[in-house]
Amino acid sequence: MEIFVLPNSIGRLKNLKYLLLSECKNMLELPKSIGKLESLVKLDLESLGISVLPYSVGKLKDLNYLLLSHCKNMVQLPESIGELESLVKLDLELSGISVLPYSIGNLKNLDHLLLYNCMNMLQLPESIGELESLVELDLSLLEITVLPNSIGGLKNLNYLLLARCKNLHKLPDSIGKLQALVKLDLHLSGIFVLPHSIGSLTSLKYLSLSECKNLQDLPDSIGELESLVTLGLKLLGISVLPNSIRRLKNLQYLLLSECKNLHEVPDSIGELKSLFELDLNLLGISALPDSIGRLKNLKHLRLRECKNLHELPDSIGELKSLVELDLELSGIAILPNSIGRLTNFTHLSFSGCENLLELPDSIGNCNHYSSWI
């Protein structure tokens, strides 16, 4: 739209609940009278050219949603923001915000704080730990170097998103106090080490550490993540998996592709009774443990481009739920006769396996094939 200014008289709209101004890129300021909109529930200012919010915005006692994403010219919020006692969602994604006012900790009903790609923001205030209702905190692509220790006070936090925080090298020990946390996304971050306290996150279901190139080790306490469903470890520098991984009884997805320093899969992997997908593409492993046959719920086994892997254990035939086996471009020279016992098998890929000269007769028993490459 081409609106440049709002008339000061807008403050007389006492029953106005929704003021939607997104994409009014030529609007450079808001009138102070906006603070008189006592019934306002939603204020959408996405992509406006404004550089400041009027201090009077703190008078909007019924405001639930304040949307400021893509406001590139806005570098700070007024301290009065902390007076928005009904605020539920504050969206600052891709804005120019460089600092959050300390008063933000007063937003006791805030459950979504979205700061994705606020490239100018270098630190967070300690008061962020006072957001007792916060459910989602998206800090992806921020330039922060530390998380405030107070973050452990976010007792209702379900989602903590720190993807691509390249300057973030460690997490505070207080992270372990986030008892409600369900998803922790650290992929492509600068993390060097995980605190032992991470094992206290007993509600955590999704942990993504993929492409954390600086992370060389996982703590033994990772085995205490009793609710974990997905563990993303792609392109890590780890050379071993902690033996404690055996205790992840609810783990369904273990993603390890391109962990090129990982030359061995521990025998304890066979205790992951709930495992649905095991991605070992591009690993340096030369063997799979016999215990792999105990993965009764495994449906997808990916071994693409495992050049040092020349054979599979006979126990592979015990994978009664297996649907897909991807051996493409691997070093496999022989398939065990037991492969014929895979009665649910539908997809077998071995193209580019130059060492594989013949197939076992038993392969004819796998009569459910829909794809054989």
pLDDT of 342 above 80: yes
Residue 357, pLDDT score: 86
What is the Rg, in whole angstroms, of the alpha carbon atoms belonging to the chain? 26
Q: Set out the domains of the chain in order of their start, with CATH numbers.
A: 216-373 (3.80.10.10)
Angle, vertex CA 244, rays to CA 238 and CA 248, nearest 5: 105
303 vs 325: CA distance, rounded Å: 8
Is 127 in contact with 102 (CB distance < 8 Å)? yes
Two tokens, residue 206: 């999704």
DSSP 99: B
Rounded mean pLDDT, 275-297:
97
Other CB atoms within 10 A of residue 370 CB:
8
Angle, vertex CA 210, rays to CA 134 and CA 306, nearest 5: 155
- In angstroms, the Cα distances linking 267 to 5, 24, 243, 275 are 68, 60, 9, 14
pLDDT-based confidence at residue 361 (cuts at 50, 70, 90): confident
pLDDT of 372 above 70: no
The DSSP annotation for 190-228 comes to: ------GGGGG-TT--EEE-TT-TT-----GGGGG-TT-
Residue 206 burial by CB count (10 A; 0-12/13-18/19+): exposed, middle or buried? middle
Is 136 in contact with 159 (CB distance < 8 Å)? yes
Residue 122, pLDDT score: 95
For the stretch 164-196, pLDDT in tens is: 999 999 999 999 999 999 999 999 999 999 999
Strands, E assignment, 236-327 = 253-255, 277-279, 300-302, 324-326
Residue 257, pLDDT score: 97
Residue 172, pLDDT score: 98
Q: Is the pTM of this model over 0.85?
A: yes
Indicate the average pLDDT of the chain.
Answer: 95
Residue 367, pLDDT score: 61
pLDDT of 255 above 80: yes
Please, which residues bridge with residue 43 across strands?
A: 19, 66
With a pLDDT cut of 70, the percent of the chain lying above it is 97
pLDDT of 305 above 70: yes
pLDDT-based confidence at residue 364 (cuts at 50, 70, 90): confident
For the stretch 63-121, pLDDT in tens is: 999 999 999 999 999 999 999 999 999 999 999 999 999 999 999 999 999 999 999 99
Is 110 in contact with 133 (CB distance < 8 Å)? yes
pLDDT-based confidence at residue 365 (cuts at 50, 70, 90): confident
